Structure 1
C-alpha cells in the first residue's frame, strides 16, 4: 500500500465530508483504528471487571457470592444481545445522514451509558430499581457498540497490498489487549490503594468516568478521519457503502450464518482468559485481586506480541490455515487449561500467558477473515453483522456458561465448553472452504 497521502477533488460527497481538501495516509487509518478499538475495549473491560469485584456486592447483596456473580454475568450478556439491534438502527442512520452523524451518536450513547453506570446507587439505596437501571445502561452500551462500527478495518484490509493484508488485518485487534491492560491496571491501583469500604463505596466509579473521557478523545480521533472527503473517496472507490440489513441477509444469508462461527473459538477463548479466570480466582481462591489483575496485564503484553505475529503468519500461510491451526491449538489448550488454572500461582501464570499467546495468534486474524467472506460492496454491513453474531454466540454468554459449569461440575466442564467453540470454528472453516466463500479462502 502506498504510504504517501493523496488528494482528490471534492464533488458529490455525502454530508459528513468537508468542503476542502484533506489527506489521509494509511498510518492515519491505522491510528484511528487502534484508538477507536482501544476505547471500546476499555469500556468493555471496565464493566467486565466490575461485574466480578463490584456489582455482586452492590446490586445483589441478597444472593450468595456465586449466584450474585452469575446474575452480574447475565447483565454482562445484555450488551451482546442488543448489539445486532444497534447495528440495524445505526446502519439506517448511516445511510440517511452519513458516517459522522452515526459515529458521533453511537459514541455519545456509549460514553453517556458508561459514565451513568458510575452514578447508579446501590441496591441498599433504591432496591431493585438499581438493577433495572444497570440493565438499561448495559443495553445502551450494546446498542452503541453496534453503531460504533466505522468500517476502518475493512478499509485498511482492502487498501493493503495483497502480500501484507494479514499484517494490516491484525491492527484493529490490538485494541483489545491495550484496553484490557489500561482497565486492569487502573482497577489494580484503586483496589490496592483504597480500603474495601471506600472502593465499594466510591472508588469503583472512577474507571467509568475515565471511560467517558477516553471516548471523547477517541471520537475526535476517528472523526478526524471519517469527516473528510478522502475517507469518503476511499470508501466509494472500494464500494464500502452501508446497505440495508435485509439486503445483506438476502444476498449473504449463508455467508453470515457460517461466518458467525468462523471466529467463535477465538471469541470464546477471549473471555476464558479475561473475565472467567478473574471470577474463578475471586470466588474460589484467597489470591488478591490486585495480583491477578497484574498477571492479566502482563499476559496481555504477550497477547499483543502474538497479534502482531499473526499478521506475519497470515501473510505466509493465509487466513484460513492460520485460523484452522489456531482452533486446533485452542482445542488442545481446552484440555490442559483446567489443570493449569487449578494449579494456582505458577499454574495460573502459565494459563494466562499461554492462553493469551494462542488467543493473539487466532484473534489477530478474526476480523480480517470475517471481512474476506464478502464481496467489497457488501463487506461493510456484512462484516458488522457477522461480528455482532460471533460476539453474541462466542463471547456474550461465555463467562456465565463457564462459571455455571464450573460451579456445577468443576473446571473440566469449562474446558469442554471452550472445546465446543473450537469444534464449531473448525466446522465453519470447513464449510466456508467447501462453499468457496471469499476470494482469499
Structure 2
C-alpha cells in the first residue's frame, strides 16, 4: 500500500462511527466493578483486624499476631503497582473492557480461595505462605481495576461532567465497604466467637464468587470507550506504555501518587487501625465497632457526589486543597475523640475521617486520568493511584500500631496530619485539569 492509500485508509477509519455506551450502563459497570473489588479488599482488612492473626499465626503472642496480620494486609499494596503495570499495559494496548474483565476475575478468584484456605492448625507453615500468595493476587487484581473503571467513566463522559461521571467508581468503595462490614456485623451478631473463628469469617470471602459473576455479566455487555476506540482506529498506541509513561510523564505520576496519600491514610487508619484498637483497647465488642463504621461510611458516601459536583464547578485543585487542609486539622482530633471510649465521640471521629475521605477521594476519578494522554492513560492513572497506596496505606495500620505503643493516639493523629500535608503540597504543585481535552 502506498503512502497516499495508507493515509486515506487511516482517515476513513478515524471517521468510522464509534459505538457509544449508555450513561446508565457506564455508571453501573464502573460502580459495580469497584464495589466488588473493594468489597474483596475490605473483607480482608476487616478479617486482618479481627481473625487472621489467631487463625494463621497462632504460635505467636497477641500483639505479634496483630502485627503479622497487618503485614499480610500490606502485601497487596506492594503488588498493586505491579498490577497497574501489567493491566495498564494491556489496557493501553488492547482496550479497557477486556482488561477490566481480567482484573475482576483475578481479584475474585484470589478472594474466594482465601475463604477456602486451611488455617495453621491444619497445614502448618503452608497456611501463612499460601495466604501471602493469594493476598498478592488480590493486590494484582485491584492494581488493574481502579484505573480501568475510572477510564471507563471519564472517557465516556462529556467534558464538563467528567468529575461527576468519575464519581461512580469512587462510590464503589463506600458500597463495598458497607457490604463487607455489614456482612461481618451480621455474622458477629449471629455466631459465637468460636463459630466465627472456626468458619464464620470465611463466608464473606466465599460470597465474593457470586458478586464476581454479577460484575462480569455487566462488564461483558459494554462497548470499548469512545476515546480508546478512536485511538485504535488511528493506530495511536504506545508500544511500551510504562516506558513512555516514566520517560515523558514521570512528574505527573509522582504528584498523582502523593495526592492520593491523604485518601489512603484517612481510610485505613479509621477503618482498620481504629477497629483493631477499639476492640482490643477501648472495650468495644466487635459488632459495636463494626456498627459504628457502617454508620460512619454513610458520610463518606454522601461526601463523594457533593465533592464531584464541586470539582466540575470549581475545579479539582480547590476542592482538594480544602479537603487536605481539613484532613490536617482532623489528625488533632484523634487523641481526644477516640481515646475517650465514648460511643458518641468515636462515632464523630470515624464520621469525620470518612467524610474527608469522600471529599478527597471523589476528585481522583477525574483528576488522575486527566493527567495523562490516551496512549498511557490506563498505565499512568493506575500507577499514580497504586503507588499512592504504598505510601499512604500499605503500612498504615502497622505503623499506627507501633506509634500508639510508643506515644499514644496523638502520634497516630500526627501521622494522619503529616500524610494530609504531603498531599496538600502535591496538589499545590499540580496543574488544574478540569479543562483538559481527553
**Which among 199, 213, 231 is matched to residue 202 of structure 1?**
199
Structure 2 SS opposite 1:374? coil
Cα-to-partner distance string for 1:399-431 (whole Å, 9 max, x where unaligned): 111122112211011111111111111111122
Q: Which residue of 1 aligns with 2:335?
A: 338
Structure 1 SS opposite 2:430? helix
Q: Residue 235 of structure 1 contacts residue 241 of structure 1 at CA under 8 Å; is this kept in 2?
A: no
State how many pairs are aligned.
Answer: 419
Normalization by structure 1: what TM-score? 0.89
Q: Hey, what's the Cα distance between the residues in 1 that align with 2:315 and 2:172?
A: 22
Give the C-alpha shift of residue 398 in structure 1: 1.2
Q: Hey, what's the Cα distance between the residues in 1 that align with 2:403 and 2:332?
A: 15
Give the C-alpha shift of residue 115 in structure 1: 0.9
Matched, 1:263 2:260: yes
Q: Which residue of 2 aligns with 1:24?
A: 21
Matched, 1:77 2:74: yes
Residues 241/439 of structure 1: CA separation in 2 closer, same or farther (3 Å cut): farther
Give the C-alpha shift of residue 248 in structure 1: 1.0
Q: Which residue of 2 aligns with 1:385?
A: 383
Q: Which residue of 1 aligns with 2:424?
A: 426
Structure 1 SS opposite 2:161? helix
Give the C-alpha shift of residue 217 in structure 1: 1.2
Range 21-30 or range 268-277, more displaced? 21-30
CA RMSD of aligned residues (A): 2.5
Structure 1 SS opposite 2:118? coil
Q: Which residue of 1 aligns with 2:317?
A: 320
Q: Hey, what's the Cα distance between the residues in 1 that align with 2:18 and 2:307?
A: 36
Give the C-alpha shift of residue 68 in structure 1: 0.9
Matched, 1:237 2:234: no
Q: Residue 93 of structure 2 contacts residue 237 of structure 2 at CA under 8 Å; is this kept in 1?
A: no
Unmatched 5+ stretches in structure 1: 1-10, 14-19
Structure 2 SS opposite 1:118? helix
Q: Which residue of 1 aligns with 2:84?
A: 87
Structure 2 SS opposite 1:151? helix
Q: Residue 104 of structure 2 contacts residue 141 of structure 2 at CA under 8 Å; is this kept in 1?
A: yes
Q: Residue 92 of structure 2 contacts residue 379 of structure 2 at CA under 8 Å; is this kept in 1?
A: no
Residues 257/129 of structure 1: CA separation in 2 closer, same or farther (3 Å cut): same
Q: Which residue of 1 aligns with 2:395?
A: 397
Q: Which residue of 2 aligns with 1:292?
A: 289
Q: Hey, what's the Cα distance between the residues in 2 that align with 1:164 and 1:103?
A: 23
Unmatched 5+ stretches in structure 2: 1-11
Q: Which residue of 1 aligns with 2:58?
A: 61
Q: Which residue of 1 aligns with 2:364?
A: 366
Residues 332/54 of structure 1: CA separation in 2 closer, same or farther (3 Å cut): same
Q: Hey, what's the Cα distance between the residues in 2 that align with 1:394 and 1:45?
A: 16
Q: Hey, what's the Cα distance between the residues in 1 that align with 2:361 and 2:88?
A: 25
Q: Which residue of 2 aligns with 1:17?
A: none
Matched, 1:175 2:172: yes
Q: Which residue of 1 aligns with 2:145?
A: 148
Residues 23/100 of structure 1: CA separation in 2 closer, same or farther (3 Å cut): closer
Q: Residue 328 of structure 2 contacts residue 420 of structure 2 at CA under 8 Å; is this kept in 1?
A: yes
Q: Hey, what's the Cα distance between the residues in 1 that align with 2:92 and 2:436?
A: 28
Range 214-223 or range 371-380, more displaced? 371-380
Q: Hey, what's the Cα distance between the residues in 2 that align with 1:56 and 1:232?
A: 43
Q: Hey, what's the Cα distance between the residues in 2 that align with 1:146 and 1:107?
A: 10
Q: Which residue of 2 aligns with 1:350?
A: 348
Q: Hey, what's the Cα distance between the residues in 1 that align with 2:317 and 2:344?
A: 34
Q: Residue 79 of structure 2 contacts residue 140 of structure 2 at CA under 8 Å; is this kept in 1?
A: yes
